[in-house]
Amino acid sequence: MASAEELSAFLASVERRAFKQAKFAVRDADGALDIVQDAMLKLSEHYGARPAAELPLLFTRILQNTIHDYFRRQKVRSTWVTLFSALGGRDNEDDADPLETLEALAGSDGAESAADKVERSQVIAIIEEEISRLPARQREAFVMRYWEEMDVAETAAAMGCSEGSVKTHCSRATHALAKALSARGITL
């Protein structure tokens, strides 16, 4: 079990490297500082009692997840800011209903024509068909990595194979899918 001194020493040793990593990822010094602080707090709160040897890997995973969370929050915030800024253009109409000013965003279900919906559903069906034609191990690795968003280590543990095998299966699967889809005239 890591003592308070070991945990403190570990956090002090990784703070600069973690800050640089977060800053490169989000390109914002303030956001990077928040990310590193959040990751350090999560490590100390949830995993502080773990052995000192486990701390580097745990912290790396926590930092990566916190960076991903930052991007998710930014995406949600930018969506809401965009929606509400579209409402602000009607200063002269005090009794206007804000919902009437909203238009369907390009790519959303409301803006999509019936033909686009049918085409999209057909493409999805073709993709699913081609995935079902993959060899079992390639299909399993592909689905876990890209649809279930598991990392390589998690996928390897779930499949009972090495990380290298997971990478090989995923690479072969993506090449086979790309070849099959382009043969059917689908470009993504």
Give me the sign of the Cα torsion angle 15, 65, 74, 143: positive
Instruction: Assess if residue 133 is contained within a domain.
Output: yes
Instruction: Give CA torsion, residues 13, 17, 19, 25, to 10 deg.
Output: -150
b/e for 126-148, b at 16 or more Cβ within 10 A? Answer: ebeebbeebeebbbbbbebbeee
Instruction: Assess if residue 20 is contained within a domain.
Output: yes
Instruction: Assess if residue 102 is contained within a domain.
Output: no
Q: How far apart are CA 39 and CA 173, in angstroms?
A: 34
Contact 66, 42 (CB under 8 A): yes
Instruction: Assess if residue 140 is contained within a domain.
Output: yes
Two tokens at 166? 């997971």
CA 53 from chain center: how many Å?
Answer: 28
Please give the backbone phi and psi of residue 119, each rounded to the nearest 5 degrees, phi first.
Answer: -60, -45
**pLDDT score for 111:** 61
Two tokens at 140? 């399993």
**pLDDT score for 165:** 95
Instruction: Assess if residue 170 is contained within a domain.
Output: yes
Domain count, the chain: 2
Q: Domain holding 36: CATH number? A: 1.10.1740
Q: Does one domain contain both 80 and 8?
A: yes
**pLDDT score for 105:** 58
Q: Does one domain contain both 77 and 10?
A: yes
Q: How far apart are CA 109 and CA 124, in angstroms?
A: 16
- Is 109 in a helix, a strand, or coil? coil
User: Of 37, 67, 85, which one is at a domain's C-terminal end?
Assistant: 85
Contact 42, 22 (CB under 8 A): no
Task: Provide the residue-wise pLDDT of the chain in tens; the chain has 188 residues.
Answer: 778 899 999 999 999 999 998 888 888 899 999 999 999 999 999 998 889 889 988 998 999 999 999 988 888 777 766 655 555 554 555 555 555 555 555 555 556 678 888 888 888 888 888 888 899 889 889 888 887 788 899 889 888 899 999 999 999 999 999 999 889 888 76
**pLDDT score for 76:** 76
Give Cβ neighbours of residue 44 (< 8 Å, ≥ 6 apart).
7, 11
- The residue range of the domain holding 11 is 4-85
User: Of 66, 85, 104, which one is at a domain's C-terminal end?
Assistant: 85
Q: Does one domain contain both 21 and 64?
A: yes
Q: What type of residue is 88?
A: G
Q: Does one domain contain both 72 and 126?
A: no
Instruction: Assess if residue 151 is contained within a domain.
Output: yes
